[in-house]
Structure 1
Amino acid sequence: MNLNIIGYTIYLLITTFIILKVGKICYRNGNIFVSELIPNHEDLCHQINQILLVGYYLLNLGYCAMTIISWEKIQSFHQLIEIIAFKSAIIICTIATMHYINIILLTKYIKKLI
């Protein structure tokens, strides 16, 4: 049994679920921030938010797929769990960092407009 293929499958399922779930939450709640940037243009704000969501999906799913290249050969189930946990933690930290950077930048931009 090839543990790398099992690891790839589990890793991609976990990270895809996390990325899609966080993307939906940020998309739903992000309309408020985008509409504050461009008041009285609800359609434009909705389209900008959709573009941000697509960019988020492409960046994170692409990064997940690219990290699979750097995996070493998995020899045991213990190593399988360790690698999946470590790689998933990196993705979660990356998503959190990007989210906070976006919030900081949006907040500073809105404060400049006010």
Structure 2
Amino acid sequence: MDLTVVAYVAYLLISVTLTVWVARTLSQNGRVFLSDVLQGNEKLADAVNHLLVVGFYLVNLGFVALYLKNSDGVADARELVEAISVKVGVVLLVLGVMHLGNVYVLNKFRRRGIMEREQRPPVPPQGWTATADKSVGPFGTPATGV
């Protein structure tokens, strides 16, 4: 078997395994964060969590597939390890950037939700102020019974 094919198989096994592990970890631990961002709406948090996981898989597995090709052949064991380490390292960087991007966007939503919750509602009117002219009622209407 050609060492380039061995490099492809090892790269795919490692990258797909890492992608699945990261997606599951983020999904399980991110649910609480999403629930807070979405102000306790558990059903919506689960739906958004599922959509984020699907998008995460599509982007990362698509990148793994596109990055599979090795323009140089692999001649020996040293080149095999180097090719796999470079490819897996790039996949890990992409996974990290995707994770940080998701956290950044969700944190923006969370901060906006916190600010909206902390705003006080306007104070309702407690009465009318007296007018100097007794012939004029509220809103400039003629006063009755004068």
Deviating above 4 A after TM superposition, structure 1's stretches of 4 or more consecutive aligned residues are: none
In the alignment, which residue of structure 1 is the partner of 2:97?
97
The within-5 A match list for 1:37-76 is 37-76=37-76
The one of the two structures with greater contact order (alpha-carbon pairs below 8 A, sep at least 6) is 1
Q: Name which one, 1 or 2, has greater alpha-carbon Rg.
A: 2
In structure 1, the partner of 2:28 is 28
Q: Provide the secondary structure at the position in 2 that maps to 1:58.
A: helix
Question: 1:73, 1:39 → 2: CA distance?
Answer: 53
Aligned partners of 2:30 and 2:49 also within 8 Å? yes
Amino acid at match of 1:29: N
SS of the equivalent of 1:52 reads helix
Gaps of 5+ in 2: 115-146
Q: Counterpart of 1:69 in 2: which secondary structure?
A: coil
Greater helix share, 1 or 2?
1
Q: What is the TM-score when the length of structure 1 is the normalising length?
A: 0.91
How much is the aligned-residue C-alpha RMSD, in angstroms?
1.3
Q: Distance in 2 between matches of 1:101 and 1:33?
A: 15
Q: Residue 38 of structure 2 contacts residue 110 of structure 2 at CA under 8 Å; is this kept in 1?
A: no
- Cα deviation, residue 39, structure 1: 2.2
Q: Cα 1:71–1:20, aligned 2, differ >3 Å: closer, same or farther?
A: farther
- Percent identical residues: 30
Letter of the aligned partner of 1:14 in structure 2? I
Name the CA distance, whole Å, in 2 between partners of 1:64 and 1:77: 22
| Partner SS, residue 84 of structure 1 | helix
Gaps of 5+ in 1: none
